[in-house]
Amino acid sequence: MSADQTYPTPQKSPSPVQSGTVSTARIVPLTCHGHSRPVTHLSFSQVVDDKYFLISACKDGNPMLRDGITGDWIGTFIGHKGAVWQARLSRNAHYAATASADFSAKVWDAFTGEALHTLQHNHIVRCVTFSPDDTRVATGGPEKKLRLYDLQRPDTLAQEIGAGAHNGTIRTVSWSDPNILVSGSEDKYIRWWDVRSKDPVTTYMVDEPLASCEFSTDGKILNVSAGKTVYFFDGVSRMLLKQVKTDYDCATVALHGPTRKFVTGGSQDTWVRIYDFHSGRELEVNKGHHGHIWSASFSPDGNLYATGSEDGTIKLWKYTTQPYGLWISA
């Protein structure tokens, strides 16, 4: 079955940028300052009471929580003693999880900033993610071990999934289906794991060492970047929907399903690029960062996307033809 047949039909809405069109009016992005070193990862919460939140990981060791619409700083999570490589919010935005070079992952109360659990490791923790019901956390890193922690019983030993399977640093972990956990490793493999049996259910080898592996905000598509190539997998069937070879290194990729466009950033320049999903054609180049771009993510309502850069800033880019947030005019 072709990608056109398996991919969801775009929804007709006055809010998102319409499929097949290219924005001619350049909207100035919102710039979020506060970090003192490169921003390594960004993650949005789901919509909670008509708002949503954004968490950022940074090599300065101080992950930050922001209003996802305006970028306004809410608070900083203090406690790590090394660079923070990844940060995520639970679905309801009550909790945050962070992965750090200080050999620990932490789970935080997102309201108070209190560290609720410190999950000690024997090496750098490169990635972390919540289960869909927010009761468990998975971690990975240079130990090449995929660990699963039960937050309802934090004092019990972590379960290891797929012992000995990974032959490189685990760079990413993603969790959309309650029973299926996805790991992405520098050994070029994406692995889907059944968390009940701890056995692999699917594997896929990409052409270059994997850089990012994230689900779209609706959990329907797995977005993967490796070298100059991006891959899109169906979140349920795990089938490859699309593979696009670009002219640039892609350290990150984020897909907006309704408009069938995706955003990339990488280590070769400071530009954010927007592509058409079906043709793979580059549609826009957005400039504003002064360092390489390590992370990109769409907001849960699809009206903006965020990018995190080597320059220590986060930028919020408007992705709608209507007034939105602090962009009071279209």
Which structural domain range is residue 186 located in?
Answer: 35-318
- Is 24 inside a domain boundary? no
Number of alpha carbons in the 13 Å side-chain half-sphere of residue 169 = 14
Contact 143, 187 (CB under 8 A): no
255 residue type, one letter: L
pLDDT, one tens digit per residue, over 45-95 is 999 989 999 999 999 999 999 999 999 999 999 999 999 999 999 988 999
pLDDT at 178: 94
Is 251 in contact with 225 (CB distance < 8 Å)? yes
Contact by Cβ (8 Å): 264, 250:
yes
Cβ pair 36, 70 in contact under 8 A: no
Q: CB under 8 Å to 90, separation ≥6 — which residues? A: 45, 96, 97, 110, 130, 134
pLDDT for the residue numbered 12: 34
Answer yes or no: is 10 within a domain: no
Specify the length of the chain in residues: 330
* Position 18, amino acid: Q
CATH assignment of the domain containing 42: 2.130.10.10
In a domain, 85, yes or no: yes
Q: Would you say residue 177 lies in a domain?
A: yes
Quick one: pLDDT at residue 148? 96
Domain count for the chain:
1
Return the pLDDT at 159.
93
pTM of structure? 0.90
Centre a 10 Å sphere on the Cβ of residue 14 and count the other Cβ atoms it contains.
8
Cβ-count burial of 2 within 10 angstroms (0-12 exposed, 13-18 middle, 19+ buried)?
A: exposed
Beta-carbon neighbour count of residue 126 at 10 Å?
25
Contact indicator for 196, 188 with CB cutoff of 8 Å: no
Instruction: Convert the chain into a string of H (helix), E (strand) and C (coil).
Output: CCHHHHCCCCCCCCCECCCCCCCCCCCCCEEECCCCCCEEEEEECCCECCECEEEEEECCCCCEEEECCCCCEEEECCCCCCCEEEEEECCCCCEEEEEECCCEEEEEECCCCCEEEEEECCCCCCEEEECCCCCEEEEECCCCCEEEEECCCCCCCCEEECCCCCCCCEEEEEECCCCEEEEEECCCEEEEEECCCCEEEEEEECCCCEEEEEECCCCCEEEEEECCEEEEEECCCCCEEEEEECCCCCCEEEEECCCCEEEEECCCCCCEEEEECCCCCEEEEECCCCCCEEEEEECCCCCEEEEEECCCCEEEEECECCCECCECCC
Domain membership of residue 326 (yes or no) is no
Q: How far apart are CA 210 and CA 223, in angstroms?
A: 11
**Residue 46 falls within a domain, yes or no?**
yes
Tell me the pLDDT of the chain (330 aa) as tens digits.
323 333 333 333 334 444 344 443 567 999 999 999 999 999 999 999 899 999 999 999 999 999 999 999 999 999 999 999 999 999 889 999 999 999 999 999 999 999 999 999 999 999 999 999 999 999 999 999 999 999 988 778 899 999 999 999 999 999 989 999 999 999 999 999 999 999 999 999 999 999 999 999 888 999 999 999 999 999 999 999 999 999 999 999 999 999 999 999 999 999 999 999 999 999 999 999 999 999 999 999 999 999 999 999 999 999 999 999 999 865
| 8 lies in some domain | no
Residue 216: inside a domain: yes
What pLDDT is recorded for position 218?
A: 85
Cβ proximity of 237 and 259 under 8 Å: no
Residue 16: its pLDDT value, please? 47
User: CB of 169 within 8 A of CB of 141?
Assistant: yes
